[in-house]
Amino acid sequence: MLPWTALGLALSLRLALARSGAESGPPASAPRGDLMFLLDSSASVSHYEFSRVREFVGQLVAPLPLGTGALRASLVHVGTRPYTEFPFGQHSSGEAAQDAVRASVQRMGDTHTGLALAYAKEQLFAEAAGARPGVPKVLVWVTDGGSSDPVGPPMQELKDLGVTVFIVSTGRGNFLELSAAASAPAEKHLHFVDVDDLHIIVQELRGSILDAMRPQQLRATEITSSGFRLAWPPLLTADSGYYVLELVPSAQPGSARRQQLPGNATDWTWAGLDPDTDYEVALVPESNVRLLRPQQLRVRTRPGEAGPGAGPAPTQLAALPAPEEAGPERIVISHARPRSLRVSWAPALGAAAALGYHVQFGPLGGGAAQRVEVPAGRNCTTLQGLAPGTAYLVTVTAAFRSGRESALSAKACTADGPRPRPRPVPRALTPGTASREP
């Protein structure tokens, strides 16, 4: 076994080569797994929005290699009760699945997303529904951002079971909550897109889905406040090499932990970790037969919980939001002008009233974001200097004495307006002439 100093140097070199692309590996294996699309089909979505989302999902699924022994896809609607449009294995080609998506009908009813997520958990792991054990699981949730029941707990159960969660929000909803619900890192798994611009992310999202389905994918399961289990398909054998695992807290890159495992290992459990903390994980296959790329993953441990009979844990409890710290419940956009919008919201009330609000806004199509501070006691502001006929993402964040923040996001559009007229250029006066006053 190599000394840790030499092992750490070799690991750093391998990771640097992988990031630079200097190290080549075998071609990626064909994707294989179970893919579920979860569509908001409730009455909170207009018929036009649903038709655009339906076309978007059809474009996503059409080129996918569906079939026996490869990918399988399923479509589930969110409504008063979840409804399966088609189960895994029903369609053996992407084109057939696309036709089925386009033929689906909006279910209407309430937006019981939490109930649908619990149902999705059963379907993703039920062989009776066509699901297969031991293959990657991916959930793509397309939503308008709202739900009539809690989303966090059932979504966390899915992620704890190793499901990779992608979220596409069409412009409304709590950005912070959706970021927490998506798989980490959120910048890869959460998309805020206007319903008319969904086609922009089709290629990128499809590529991310296929990456999550590749057999060599390193994944984290059984995530708790103090540890998690890593699993990966067999890449080596006991005679062909060994693995090196590295675990680094994102906020403390110098505090690395490493573990060497035999080539026939396919899992490892990290324990004794800090709650509510991001960790960077690297799996490095060291083979004497062929070169294999390192795999990397970011995992966040769950917030701390006191065990049975345990005393109070102030440091862990402080990380949890107090029930009274409820931020803005709804955002109202009014007085839309070509270059301004009025934003108002239901204020935080009670013992934990907010110290103030931050209103951040920026164009949905990309561009610099701006921020306005609103003092406590006020629950509205007017955003100025906007572009005419432009969609903006507006996020209102309430700040509390505990240091916690609670945010809600909404989409807003300025009115179309005429282009500013150029100012007339005054004529130059020739020497000896004087201007005449009207």
- Span 210-266, pLDDT tens digits: 888 876 578 888 888 899 989 887 788 888 889 999 999 988 888 889 999 998 888
Q: Which of 197, 177, 201 is nearest to 188 (CA)?
A: 201
Indicate if the pLDDT at residue 92 is higher than 70: yes
Categorize the per-residue pLDDT at 179 as very low, low, confident or very high, splitting at 50, 70 and 90: confident
Q: Which residues pair with 167 in a beta bridge?
A: 141, 190
33-213 is a CATH 3.40.50.410 domain:
yes
Mean pLDDT of the 19-32 span: 49
Categorize the per-residue pLDDT at 322 as very low, low, confident or very high, splitting at 50, 70 and 90: very low
Mean pLDDT of the 87-108 span: 93
Q: Give pTM, 2 decimals.
A: 0.55
Q: Are 141 and 165 in contact (CB under 8 A)?
A: yes
Q: Are 219 and 137 in contact (CB under 8 A)?
A: no
The answer, yes or no, to whether the previous bond of 185 is cis (omega within 30 of 0) is yes
Q: What is the pLDDT of residue 324?
A: 47
Rounded Cα gap, residues 163 and 223, in angstroms: 12
Rounded Cα gap, residues 178 and 147, in angstroms: 11
- What is the CATH architecture of 331-413? Sandwich (2.60)
Q: Are 171 and 393 in contact (CB under 8 A)?
A: yes
Average pLDDT, the chain: 79
- What is the CATH architecture of 1-17+239-301? Sandwich (2.60)
Q: For the chain, what are the domain ranges?
A: 1-17+239-301, 33-213, 331-413
- 1-17+239-301 and 331-413 have identical folds: yes
Q: How far apart are the first and last CA of the chain?
A: 95
DSSP state letters, 218-275: -EEES--SS-EEEE------TTTEEEEEEEEETT-TT--EEEEEETT--EEEE-SPPT
Q: Which of 197, 159, 95, 201 is nearest to 297 (CA)?
A: 159
Report residue 71 as tokens.
């990918």
Top mean pLDDT of 212-216, 277-281, 402-406 is at: 277-281
Q: What is the pLDDT of residue 310?
A: 41
